[in-house]
């Protein structure tokens, strides 16, 4: 079994030093928490993931999941781990305590998610999807239904799914064929409460993650369907809660709701997460309850989809960093060859960590890994402040910033997480290609994050075609203003002056390209949209470089304070950094930001060149 490795020091640096918890703890919602409580929570999350979840991963990858006699079989270790997960309160750490969650700040929920995915990726689909589904019911469900269903989901007694995709309706969800028909007068209702709008549901859904299993007594499926007679397209779609089993007002299971799993996909990765084909209403007896307003299903579902997109980014952060930590550990131990500067064939053999190309690959992983972690943790802070900040204007600002950056969180983090797994395999050499060291599984498990919950191409279109236009470009202009202020404040930084100049130039290139789209989009919309994915990558590079420089400024302050406190002379600082864990950590932050600015950030210029090129070759070619 591959070792479970988490850089807890970096998690805590981002939370407590980079973003700071003081402002969050001043809000009424979190006034009962303290930094000590939150640090202890992180430690407990890491400990639980390592001791309880990580031991399930090897079996999960090898056993997978199987459809046997109409039932989905999971790895035997999952049931015990799931029970412990729920008993320890991890099922819904960031959700309302009144409804069964832990009521923690969202950043703690993101961390619990990251360390859980790092331990056992397939396992985390069950609680992860359940929280999103329950939160949607909490927001839009009828009160009596909400008060029964949501606590059962937040405590893990029941699980949940999101059911959008059909064979002919993937990204084009408006093409779905699942139908909802209101009960005819005189038909017997199965609703547990009076006042629920009950419908007969008929249709088929595919690619439903955690779609069927025996971990819990019931599964709440959130199903998009069209009420008979409603318009075609997304404007005619409604949302329904469709339980696997019918239940009464006390939650007692009454029997089948005519929902069946007809197939389980055999996938590249996440082998033990059952990706199911589900059939609703084969016998004409499937019932569902309207969530939200009729024909407002997409509006409701977008809440869960946006949360799921953040979760995709966390998946990239988690598995990319796991792969990096394993590659780093391997590079420190694997002895191969002599130093490149050594000419004596009998010279001492060194670890591959001494080889420049290996160090470059590891540094790319470190820079991406710490950058995308900061990107996703920042999103969690934005989400919490958007809801809980005392200043209404700041609540709006944080909401807008989260809107702007969500497609980047999803697409950039999942793409770079995959890139990190590729480089981690490369560092391992041939050993990375076999199962023993675990990095090839990281690659297989993370790839899906760039595909589901709206492919990364869709995220790029959302960023360029919608988010950049919101409030007449106001969201992007506000980001530009904040970035400009940060650069101006630090333009003469002693250790980072060159890097701030590089970020300023890259930011200007990004702004120039954004204005280019205003003209090219009118002249040739297809060619303009061909630049959406490169534009998202440009934006991701600049934002991550900004975040890494933010870390570097703080780290340099801490490093200089250590030198002063320990009275370290200039000539002795390199040796001190090697000996001091804190000094080495902070020095690493400075060097990581420098590396990203010099070696990765310049990619924005080649991306910009392609976007601005007057070239339609990809559109005009007649593919054979």
CA torsion sign for 210, 213, 214, 216 is positive
Round to whole Å and give the CA distance between 66 and 219.
18
CA 106 – CA 374 distance, rounded (Å)? 14
Please list, in sequence order, all residues whose beta carbon lies within 8 angstroms of the beta carbon of residue 34, skipping any fewer than 6 positions away: 25
Q: How far, in whole angstroms, is CA 531 from its chain's centroid? A: 24
Residues 6+ away with beta carbon under 8 Å from 37: none
Q: Where are the alpha helices (DSSP H) in 2-53?
A: 8-12, 22-25, 35-48
CB neighbourhood size of 263 (10 A): 13
For residues 584 and 410, give the distance between their C-alpha atoms in angstroms, rounded to a whole number: 31
User: Cα-Cα-Cα-Cα dihedral of 604, 608, 611, 617, to 10°?
Assistant: -80
CA angle at 405 for the pair 404 and 408, rounded to the nearest 5°: 125
The phi, psi pair for 105, rounded to 5°, reads: -55, 150
User: Would you state the structure tokens that stand for residue 89, as one six-digit string?
Assistant: 């309160």
Q: 448 by DSSP, 3-state: which?
A: helix
Task: Give CB contacts under 8 A, 24+ apart, made by 283-286.
Answer: 283/258, 284/200, 284/202, 284/258, 285/200, 285/256, 285/257, 285/258, 286/200, 286/201, 286/202, 286/242, 286/257, 286/258, 286/259
| Whole-number Å distance between alpha carbons of 28 and 288 | 37
- 8 Å CB contact between 437 and 2: yes
- How far is the CA of 390 from the CAs of 28, 31, 59, 468, in angstroms? 9, 13, 47, 27
Which is the catalytic residue, given 166, 403, 453, 537? 453
Shortest CA distance to 167 belongs to which of 265, 71, 296? 265
Residue where the block lists tokens 């958007």 = 386
Sequence-distant (6+) residues with CB within 8 A of 509 are 538, 604, 605, 608
**Cβ(280)–Cβ(258) below 8 Å:** yes
- Check if the beta carbon of residue 368 is closer than 8 Å to that of residue 416: yes
Distance between alpha carbon 377 and the CA centroid of its chain, in Å?
A: 10
Q: Alpha-carbon distance 536 to 533, whole Å?
A: 5
For 84, which DSSP code?
A: H
Q: How far is CA 472 from the centre of its chain?
A: 28
Phi, psi of 195 (to 5 degrees): 95, -10
Given the structure tokens 């850089």, which residue do they identify?
7
The beta-strand segments (E) located in 257-347 are: 259-264, 275-280, 287-291
Contacts of 572 by beta carbon, 8 Å cutoff, 6+ apart: none
12 catalytic, yes or no? no
Measured between alpha carbons, how far is 166 from 175 in angstroms, rounded to an integer? 9
- C-beta atoms surrounding 554 within 10 Å: 17
Task: Show which residues are catalytic.
Answer: 453
């Amino acid at each position: 079994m591959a070792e479970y490795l988490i850089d807890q020091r970096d998690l805590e640096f981002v939370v407590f030093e980079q973003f700071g918890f003081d402002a969050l703890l001043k809000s009424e919602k979190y006034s009962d928490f303290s930094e000590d409580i939150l640090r202890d929570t992180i430690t407990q999350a890491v400990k639980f993931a390592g001791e309880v979840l990580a031991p399930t991963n090897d079996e999960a990858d090898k056993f997978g999941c199987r459809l046997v006699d109409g039932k989905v079989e999971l790895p035997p270790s999952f049931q015990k781990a799931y029970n412990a997960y729920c008993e320890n309160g991890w099922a819904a750490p960031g959700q309302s305590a009144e409804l069964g969650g832990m009521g923690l700040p969202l950043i703690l929920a993101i961390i619990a998610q990251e360390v859980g995915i790092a331990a056992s990726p397939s396992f985390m689909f069950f609680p992860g999807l359940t929280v999103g589904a329950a939160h949607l019911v909490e927001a839009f469900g009828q009160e009596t239904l909400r008060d029964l269903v949501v606590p059962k989901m937040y405590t893990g007694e029941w699980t949940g799914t999101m059911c959008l995709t059909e064979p002919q309706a993937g990204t084009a969800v408006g093409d779905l064929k699942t139908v909802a028909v209101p009960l005819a007068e005189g038909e017997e209702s199965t609703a547990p409460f009076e006042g629920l709008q009950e419908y007969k549901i008929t249709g088929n859904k595919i690619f439903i993650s955690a779609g069927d299993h025996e971990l819990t007594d019931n599964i709440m499926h959130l199903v998009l369907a069209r009420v008979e007679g409603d318009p075609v397209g997304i404007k005619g779609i409604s949302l329904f809660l469709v339980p696997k089993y019918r239940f009464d007002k006390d939650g007692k299971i009454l029997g089948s709701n005519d929902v069946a799993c007809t197939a389980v996909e055999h996938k590249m990765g996440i082998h033990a997460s059952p990706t199911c084909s589900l059939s609703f209403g084969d016998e004409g007896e499937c019932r569902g309850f309207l969530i939200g307003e009729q024909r407002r299903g997409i509006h409701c579902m977008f809440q869960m989809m946006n949360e799921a997109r953040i979760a995709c980014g966390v998946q990239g952060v988690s598995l990319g960093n796991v792969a990096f930590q394993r590659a780093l550990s391997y590079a420190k131990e694997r002895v191969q060859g002599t130093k490149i500067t050594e000419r004596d064939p009998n010279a001492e053999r060194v670890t591959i960590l001494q080889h420049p190309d290996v160090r470059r690959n590891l540094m790319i992983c470190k820079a991406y890994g710490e950058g995308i972690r900061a990107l996703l943790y920042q999103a969690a802070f934005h989400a919490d402040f958007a809801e809980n900040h005392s200043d209404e204007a700041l609540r709006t600002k944080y909401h807008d910033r989260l809107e702007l950056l969500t497609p980047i969180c999803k697409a950039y983090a999942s793409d770079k997480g995959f890139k990190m797994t590729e480089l981690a395999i490369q560092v391992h050499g041939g050993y990375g290609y076999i199962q023993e060291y675990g990095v090839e599984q990281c690659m297989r498990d993370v790839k899906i994050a760039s595909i589901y919950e709206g492919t990364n191409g869709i995220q790029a279109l959302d960023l360029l075609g919608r988010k950049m236009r919101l409030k007449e470009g106001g969201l992007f202009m506000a980001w530009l203003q904040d970035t400009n202020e940060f650069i101006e404040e630090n333009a003469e930084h002693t250790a980072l002056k060159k890097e701030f100049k590089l970020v300023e130039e890259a930011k200007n290139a990004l702004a120039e390209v954004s204005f280019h789209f205003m003209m090219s989009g009118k002249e040739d919309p297809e060619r303009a949209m061909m630049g959406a994915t490169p534009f998202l990558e440009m934006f991701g590079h600049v934002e991550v470089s900004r975040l890494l420089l933010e870390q570097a400024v703080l780290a340099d302050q801490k490093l200089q304070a250590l030198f002063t406190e320990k009275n370290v002379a200039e000539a002795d600082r390199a040796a001190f950094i090697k000996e001091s864990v804190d000094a080495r950590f902070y020095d690493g932050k400075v060097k990581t930001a420098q590396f990203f600015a010099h070696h990765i950030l310049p990619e924005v210029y080649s991306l910009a060149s392609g976007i601005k090129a007057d070239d339609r070759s990809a559109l005009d070619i007649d593919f054979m």
